[in-house]
Chain A
Amino acid sequence: MKRLLIAIALVGRAALGQNAADGPILAAHGLDSSAFINMYVPAGAVRLIAWDRDSIVVRGQKSKHDRIFFGGGRQGVKMAVESPSGGDSEPSNLVVYIPRHGRVSVRTASANITGEGVAGTFNSSSGNIRLSGVVSSVEAESMNGSLDLDLTTPWLRARTGDGHLLIRGAPQDVDASTIGGTLDVIAPKVKRGQFVSVSGDIHWIGSPARGAVFDFSNHSGAVDLALTSTTSAALTLSSVSGDIENGFTRVRPIASPPRTVRFNLGGGDAHVSVRTFKGAIRVRPQ
């Protein structure tokens, strides 16, 4: 009875900071501020919101046939939407509030994931992942879903197969790759970046940060760098059989052996290396 009262009080207190339009409260629990939250939502959508309270609150809608497994203690909880029959659960639409300094590990099959100020790992088979905010680190992967990562973070790792991968905001250390999907980067504060694709085009827009080190690699997709006039970088562009187009016509290449072009823009503060097998390389003023 006492536990029930505490839970009701907790839910009542926690509910004050949320939007009732998110749906009814499905679960709630007190957590340490740095707790670990592990969740599995097969289908539908899950939206994760960081808040400045030491508790997790799950709102939303789920099928009446499915149930929410929820267990753990103050240091961490596990949560999953599951079908009692053991088969595929129906789509659910969840909004989960978690402590700002907590870490999540979210896995979905087809459910889309949205995160606001939430750090951790986000993994989906075919769902899209959209993350934003200021976080400690993020690892996001989807087999063929699209990723939109608008983050301020010291460390970001992102992978998708043939989905679209968009990186923006202010990540510092980025490791991003696609198989066939397009990779777009508009993130001027990246200090170290590795951008790889097999057949998807890679687009970089902006000016590399001072001292930044970028490595672009593609097999058959193009690599297109649209650089601002203030760019200060040493560029090495090499392709086995793809075209190399230098749109900075006033810049004299340092060296142009077969299939490799090297030149500096400005003082050459950043280092940019681009390699392709047969994809075209284009460097042009923005």
Chain B
Amino acid sequence: MTDQTTHLTEDDRQSAADGTLPVERRADVEAHLADCDACAADVARITELMKRTRDAMLAPPSETASLDDLWSPIRARIEASKVVSLGTGARPSNSRPLISLIVGGIAAALLLTAVMLRVRPSEPRTSATAQATPDTSVLRAVSDSATAYEAEAQILLDRLEIQRATMRPEARAAIDRNLHTVDVAIAELKDAIARDPNNPALRQLLATSYRQKVELLKRANAS
């Protein structure tokens, strides 16, 4: 039994829209729809929705947007929002230096990993491979990596200076000794790079040494 105060049930409205009402309900529902504008409008909306869905499914492929068509604008938006690689000597953003450094560090680590994987041997026994010619993308990647580590090391050094007064003398001595070892290595590598700037192996070693320094400073700051 339906009237304007109770409205049709959801099941009745769906059945009325798709034409599957049981025969014994049909008269009551049609009578209600004739008197109730709200239910009639809702059934009309559902009917229209079903029709559009059916039409879309039946439409030939050419009438729907292809994945290629969809991909172009998506790709353009991704490109527009890409993080620009760190330039040589780039300094962290003033607003969020720590976050920038963390992101930079992760990016640098990924780049370094990519470089390390790239130089791994994959040739079979028979392929004689000469020393790789300098690849500018590799050089840039390891250079960025070293720069990011260097910036992070400087921040950690500043923090360490603040903590230094509260450290035990033996801990201070150990940190200084280890820092000296790493700094000597970094200085030697920088000298070598100045003489042979296109040698990716030198830059990889420099990035590794900076990574060592950063990790040492993190341990020192945490101790």
Footprint of B on A, CB under 8 Å?
A: 109-110, 123, 125-126, 141, 143-144, 159, 161-162, 177, 179-180, 196, 198-199, 213, 215, 217, 219-220, 234-236, 238, 240, 254-255, 257-258, 260, 262, 264, 268, 271, 273, 275-278
Contacts and interface: CB of A to CB of B under 8 A. Distances in A.
Contacts of B129: 254-255, 262
Interface stretch (B57-65, B78-86, B204-212): B204-212
Interface stretch (B10-18, B21-29, B148-156, B185-193): B185-193
B171 to A, nearest CB: 5
B174 A144 contact: yes
Nearest to B212: A198
A271 B127 CA distance: 16
23 contacts: A109-B223, A123-B222, A125-B168, A161-B177, A161-B178, A162-B174, A177-B212, A179-B178, A180-B181, A198-B182, A198-B212, A219-B188, A219-B209, A240-B202, A240-B205, A254-B121, A254-B125, A254-B128, A254-B129, A260-B131, A262-B123, A271-B122, A273-B116
B210 to A, nearest CB: 11
The DSSP consensus for interface residues of chain B is: helix
Contacts of B208: 196, 217
Contacts of B185: 198-199, 219-220, 277
A275 B205 contact: yes
Contacts of B127: 254
Interface in B125-180: 125, 127-131, 168, 170-171, 174-175, 177-178
Interface residues of B, number: 40
A179 B216 contact: yes
B14 to A, nearest CB: 49
A199 B121 contact: no
B138 to A, nearest CB: 14
Contacts of B192: 240, 277
A64 B174 CA distance: 31
A41 to B, nearest CB: 14
Given A219-B185, A240-B201, A143 B174 contact: yes
A236 B120 contact: yes
B186 to A, nearest CB: 9
Contact of B125 (A110, A220, A264): A264
Nearest to B215: A159
Enumerate the 4 nearest inter-chain pairs by beta-carbon distance, A residue then B residue, closest first: A257-B131, A161-B178, A219-B185, A144-B174
Given A215-B116, A277-B188, A234 B121 contact: yes
A110 B174 CA distance: 12
Interface string B17-59: 0000000000000000000000000000000000000000000
B145 to A, nearest CB: 13
Given A273-B119, A277-B192, A159 B125 contact: no
A213 B120 contact: yes
Contact of B171 (A143, A162, A275, A278): A143
B182 A179 contact: yes
A238 B205 CA distance: 11
A161 B208 CA distance: 15
B201 to A, nearest CB: 6
A258 B199 CA distance: 12
A162 B201 contact: no
Contacts of B124: 268
A240 B116 CA distance: 16
Given A161-B178, A213-B120, 20 more contacts: A143-B223, A144-B177, A144-B178, A159-B215, A161-B174, A177-B215, A179-B181, A196-B208, A196-B212, A198-B209, A215-B116, A217-B205, A236-B119, A254-B121, A257-B131, A264-B125, A271-B121, A271-B122, A275-B201, A277-B189
Nearest to B192: A240
A229 B134 CA distance: 35
Q: Which of A123, A196, A240, A273 has the most CB of B within 10 A?
A: A240
Given A159-B219, A161-B174, A258 B131 contact: yes
B108 interface: no
A215 B205 CA distance: 12
B220 interface: yes
B171 A180 contact: no
A213 B125 CA distance: 18
Q: Which of A257, A273, A277 has the most CB of B within 10 A?
A: A277
Contacts of A254: 121, 123, 125, 127-129
A237 to B, nearest CB: 10
A28 to B, nearest CB: 29
